[in-house]
Amino acid sequence: MTRNEALFEFLQRMGDNTLILGHRISEWCGMAPVLEEDIALSNTALDFIGQTQFWLGYAGEVEGEGRDADRLAFHRDAWDFRNVLLVEMPNGDFGQTIMRQFLFDAWHSIYIARLIKSSDARVAEIAEKASKEIAYHLERSADTVVALGDGTEESHARMQKALDYLYPYVGEMFLSDEVDAEMIAAGIAPDPSTLRDEYDALVQKVMDEATLSIPGNRFAQKGGKTGTMHTEHLGHLLCSMQWLQRAYPDGNW
């Protein structure tokens, strides 16, 4: 794998994570439990779609085959996506959505902080632009996890169930492969495995405040970031997200 091929894969991973999670969150638009949450979730989704535009836009330039961010988002099949499995998991109830958001935000905030110092000027610039949004996402999702986890008996039970369900998908964010090795060697991105201790400390702090118990099993579901395996949920999501572009290719308003 060449340095350019690895960079393209890395940029797809970053863009696909925010694209898929952004779409997932947008599914709450008009359906959230209260108006404030409806607006907040919609704004978070918009933040992620904006970040996707930068990551996939740069990916298209690196690839050099004429594909822009829209082409990469709407004209790839499920097996071509490089997002971690966590972000494609279904919304479930509000508690599951918020837990998924927090588990991703905690990783995202740590990873983006490292990318601000990337040797690739474009990567560093995108990370810098996204960092304030990501800091807010983390603050909000952490506060909501605590409020629900340490809330009523029912909200606590739902949050614990969500954590138990989603935690097996956390480990994939810290697995390294040849793409990561190329990015590490070039100083473009950090070794994901070196971030686990910081992540665990952050998650443990929030879960302690939320009176929730982190599962002891560290088994990691994987395959999303390499494209070797996705859940059935991604295909259904793409059917919804891509149908207009697939039905009317290159259509204009």
> What pLDDT does residue 78 have?
96
Mean pLDDT of 209-227: 94
Cα separations (Å) of 161 from 24, 103, 105?
19, 14, 19
Residues 69-90, mean pLDDT to the nearest whole number: 96
Write the CB contacts of 147 (distance below 8 Å, at least 6 apart in sequence). Answer: none
How many structural domains comprise the chain? Answer: 1
Around Cβ 219, how many Cβ atoms within 10 Å?
9
Domain range for 142 is 3-247
**Dihedrals φ, ψ of 222, to 5°?**
-150, 170
pTM of the model: 0.95
Amino acid sitting at position 65:
E
- The first and second tokens of residue 88, run together, are 């494609």
Gap between the Cα atoms of 138 and 87, Å rounded: 15
Residue 230 has pLDDT above 80, yes or no: yes
Please report which residue ranges of the chain form alpha helices under DSSP H. Answer: 3-26, 35-63, 69-74, 94-115, 121-149, 153-166, 178-185, 196-209, 232-247
Residue 253 lies in a domain: no
Q: In this predicted structure, what is the pLDDT of residue 192?
A: 97
Query: Which pLDDT score, from 0 to 100, does residue 105 have?
Result: 98
pLDDT at 35: 84
- With respect to residue 106, please indicate whether it lies within any of the assigned structural domains: yes
pLDDT surpasses 90 at 34: no
CATH label of the domain that carries residue 101 = 1.20.1260.10
Asked if residue 198 is part of any domain, the answer here is yes
Tell me if 154 sits within 8 A of 172, measured CB to CB. Answer: no
Residue 251 has pLDDT above 80, yes or no: no
At residue 183, the pLDDT reads 98
Averaged pLDDT for residues 62-77: 96
- Judged against a pLDDT cut of 90, whether residue 156 lies above it is answered with yes
- For 100-148, how does the pLDDT look when each residue is reduced to its tens digit (9 = 90+)? 999 999 999 999 999 999 999 999 999 999 999 999 999 999 999 999 9
Cα three-residue angle 173-162-216, rounded to 5 degrees: 65
User: Residue 250: pLDDT band by 50, 70, 90 thresholds?
Assistant: confident
| Residue with more model confidence, 201 or 32 | 201
Q: What is the mean pLDDT of residues 42-58?
A: 97
- Residue 181 domain flag: yes
Residue 218: predicted pLDDT: 83
Residue 86 pLDDT > 90? yes
User: Has residue 157 been placed in a domain?
Assistant: yes
Asked whether residue 67 carries a pLDDT value surpassing 90, the answer given is yes
